[in-house]
């Protein structure tokens, strides 16, 4: 089911807007993550979609139908929370079948459906157990199956993996992706973990300070951040940010003068600083000093001092030898200039053409 927000504003106290003029469309059949720092408005947005909250202003559509005044029941959404909220005294089978029991579906029919869903989420061999006898990952699978029992219009997941350990989180995020693909149900997933969002989503909505910073594919968020906030929020290691002024001499004649004048901050991804001239993809030659480099397994980093600024490169560990001063190169991809307001004014899209 397609979801559209039209000029949606939400205020809890009638004074401050937790969400301001949200406009977006989540296409039918996609998996979208709501990603952002704590307090950014992710859960509020999810609760507006589910109908647990009503907006202060604006409209919410499911498909072409205005659902703004419809309650949670009428919206027929399936929800999964981080604490699973399974019924401890019911078996796995009865947990999954519970929403169908409430809907007065016959026992034979609801058990058949619950068994199908148990298969989908791979807990078909646990049907008689109580939730307490399951691992965290298995409990989350049961919670997902239960949320899917009534063939919901949408599947909403609020930080569903945050109670799981690191390995299980990775396994379960792949599982959620698989289940979403197999069922085709439009799924909205709240997380504050960028890695999770980047791996699982068709599109990511970055929410901060009550507004959408960017809503695009994971690759676009990384390659073409709209603003400094997104550039800093997405990517590991965190993007280098230095005053644009530090690069002014090296970029003169390369970046248009008016853009250089407006530029306040330069963003440089750690892989955009390389030790060799890569031809076409090189924007400028720089000169600096490697102050430290380290390598652990696949992780290699070099700390560089450049015009009094510190930069981190993942491409230059081990190239300094006995001459730490060296020329190195700044690539076009992974280099951005932002103005005083943080808006992107150079890089990203302009290089993609
Ligand atoms: N019931 C409420 N009453 C008043 N203010 C609230 C309520 N729920 C959330 N807020 C405020 O709304 C803002 C957004 O909260 P929300 O829970 O949507 O953010 P979030 O991005 O989901 O954060 P987190 O990752 O910490 O869950 C916060 O400033 C929060 O304090």
What CATH number is given to the structural domain containing 203? Answer: 3.40.50.300
Closest by Cα among 10, 6, 29 to 203: 29
CB burial class (10 A; 0-12, 13-18, 19+) of residue 129? middle
Q: Of 22, 35, 43, 229, which is best to mutate to test ligand 1, by the most ligand atoms within 8 angstroms of its C-beta? A: 43
Q: Are residues 63 and 169 in the same domain?
A: yes
Whether the complex's predicted ipTM surpasses the cut of 0.90:
yes
The CA-CA-CA angle for residues 55, 58, 63, to 5°, reads 100
Q: Which pair of tokens denotes residue 241?
A: 């940010």
Output the pTM of the full model: 0.90
Q: Are residues 120 and 143 in the same domain?
A: yes
- Total domains in the fold of the chain: 2
What is the overall mean pLDDT for the chain? 92
Which is it for strands 282-296 and 299-306: parallel, antiparallel or unpaired?
antiparallel
- Ligand 1: distance of its center to the CA of 203 in Å? 22
Q: Are residues 161 and 35 in the same domain?
A: yes
Sign of CA dihedral 124, 128, 130, 133: negative
pLDDT, one tens digit per residue, over 95-114 is 999 999 999 999 999 999 99
- Ligand 1: distance of its center to the CA of 60 in Å? 19
Q: Of 36, 42, 54, 213, which is best to mutate to test ligand 1, by the most ligand atoms within 8 angstroms of its C-beta? A: 42
**188-224 burial, b if ≥16 CB within 10 A, otherwise e?**
bbbbebbebbbebbbbbbbbbebebbbbbebebbbbb
What percentage of the chain reaches a pLDDT higher than 90? Answer: 82
- Ligand 1: distance of its center to the CA of 135 in Å? 30
Q: Of 9, 11, 14, 41, which is best to mutate to test ligand 1, by the most ligand atoms within 8 angstroms of its C-beta? A: 41
pLDDT, one tens digit per residue, over 135-147 is 888 999 999 999 9
Provide the pLDDT confidence category of residue 167 given band limits of 50, 70 and 90. confident
The per-residue pLDDT for 242 is 98
Q: Are residues 125 and 175 in the same domain?
A: yes
Any long-range contacts for 343-349 (C-beta under 8 Å, 24+ apart)? 343/226, 343/227, 344/224, 344/225, 344/226, 344/227, 344/228, 344/231, 345/259, 345/262, 345/263, 346/255, 346/259, 346/263, 347/267, 348/223, 348/224, 348/225, 349/224
The per-residue pLDDT for 77 is 94
The per-residue pLDDT for 162 is 84
The C-alpha atoms of residue 14 and residue 105 are separated, in whole angstroms, by 42
For range 41-69, the mean pLDDT: 96
Q: Is the pLDDT of residue 353 over 60?
A: no
Q: Are residues 255 and 176 in the same domain?
A: no
Contacts of 279 (CB under 8 A, 6+ apart): none
Instruction: State which of 206, 230, 254 marks the end of a domain.
Output: 230
Q: Of 13, 39, 40, which is best to mutate to test ligand 1, by the most ligand atoms within 8 angstroms of its C-beta? A: 39
Shortest-distance atom of ligand 1 to CA 45: 18
Q: Are residues 224 and 348 in the same domain?
A: no
Domain boundaries, position 59 = 3-230
Q: Are residues 67 and 211 in the same domain?
A: yes
The per-residue pLDDT for 330 is 96
Residue whose CA is at the smallest distance from ligand 1 atom 18: 41
Q: Are residues 160 and 276 in the same domain?
A: no
What percentage of the chain reaches a pLDDT higher than 70? Answer: 97
The C-alpha atoms of residue 218 and residue 213 are separated, in whole angstroms, by 13
Ligand 1: residues with CB < 6 A are 12, 18, 36, 38-44, 192
Shortest-distance atom of ligand 1 to CA 47: 18
Q: Is the pLDDT of residue 311 over 90?
A: yes
- Ligand 1: distance of its center to the CA of 34 in Å? 13
Instruction: State which of 178, 209, 230 marks the end of a domain.
Output: 230
- Ligand 1: distance of its center to the CA of 7 in Å? 19
- Ligand 1: distance of its center to the CA of 44 in Å? 6
Q: Are residues 123 and 215 in the same domain?
A: yes
Q: Are residues 36 and 177 in the same domain?
A: yes
SS3 70: coil
Residue whose CA is at the smallest distance from ligand 1 atom 4: 12
- Ligand 1: distance of its center to the CA of 46 in Å? 11
For range 17-40, the mean pLDDT: 95
pLDDT, one tens digit per residue, over 78-92 is 999 877 789 999 999
The C-alpha atoms of residue 122 and residue 104 are separated, in whole angstroms, by 26
pLDDT, one tens digit per residue, over 240-256 is 999 999 999 999 999 99
Q: Are residues 188 and 241 in the same domain?
A: no
Shortest-distance atom of ligand 1 to CA 192: 25
Q: Give the residue carrying structure tokens 């989180």.
A: 169
Q: Are residues 218 and 249 in the same domain?
A: no
Q: Is the pLDDT of residue 258 over 90?
A: yes
- Ligand 1: distance of its center to the CA of 43 in Å? 7
Instruction: State which of 230, 247, 269 marks the end of a domain.
Output: 230
H or E stretch covering 89: none
- Ligand 1: distance of its center to the CA of 42 in Å? 8
- Ligand 1: distance of its center to the CA of 341 in Å? 25
pLDDT, one tens digit per residue, over 179-223 is 999 999 999 999 989 999 999 999 999 999 999 999 999 999 999
């Amino acid at each position: 089911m397609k979801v559209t927000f039209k000029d949606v504003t939400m205020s809890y106290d009638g004074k401050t807007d937790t969400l301001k003029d949200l406009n977006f469309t989540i296409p039918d059949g996609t998996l979208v993550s709501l990603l952002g720092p704590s307090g950014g408005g992710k859960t509020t947005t999810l609760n507006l979609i589910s109908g647990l909250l009503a907006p202060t202003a604006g409209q919410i559509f499911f498909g072409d139908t205005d659902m703004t005044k419809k309650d949670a029941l009428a919206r027929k959404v399936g929800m999964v929370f981080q604490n699973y909220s399974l019924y401890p005294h019911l078996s796995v089978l009865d947990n999954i079948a519970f929403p169908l029991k409430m809907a007065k579906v016959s026992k034979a029919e609801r058990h058949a459906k619950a068994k199908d869903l148990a298969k989908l989420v791979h807990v078909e061999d646990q049907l008689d157990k109580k939730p307490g006898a399951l691992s965290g990952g298995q409990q989350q699978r049961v919670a997902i199956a239960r949320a899917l029992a009534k063939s919901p219009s949408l599947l909403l997941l609020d930080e569903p993996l945050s109670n799981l350990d690191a390995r299980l989180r990775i396994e379960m995020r792949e599982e959620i992706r698989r289940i979403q693909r197999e069922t085709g149900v439009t799924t909205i997933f709240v997380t504050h973990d960028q890695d999770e969002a980047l791996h699982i989503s068709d599109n990511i909505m970055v929410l901060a300070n009550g507004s959408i910073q960017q809503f695009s594919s994971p690759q676009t968020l990384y390659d073409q951040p709209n603003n400094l906030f997104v550039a800093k929020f997405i990517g590991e290691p965190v993007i280098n940010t230095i005053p644009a002024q530090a690069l002014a001499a090296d970029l003169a004649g390369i970046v248009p003068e008016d853009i250089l004048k407006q530029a306040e901050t330069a963003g440089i991804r750690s892989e955009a600083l390389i030790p060799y001239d890569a031809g076409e993809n090189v924007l400028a030659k720089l000169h600096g000093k490697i102050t430290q480099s380290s390598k652990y397994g696949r992780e290699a980093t070099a700390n560089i001092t450049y015009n009094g600024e510190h930069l981190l490169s993942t491409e230059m560990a081990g190239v300094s030898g006995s001459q730490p001063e060296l020329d190195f190169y700044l690539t076009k991809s992974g280099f951005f200039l932002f103005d005083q307001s943080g808006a992107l004014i150079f890089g990203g899209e302009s290089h993609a053409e």
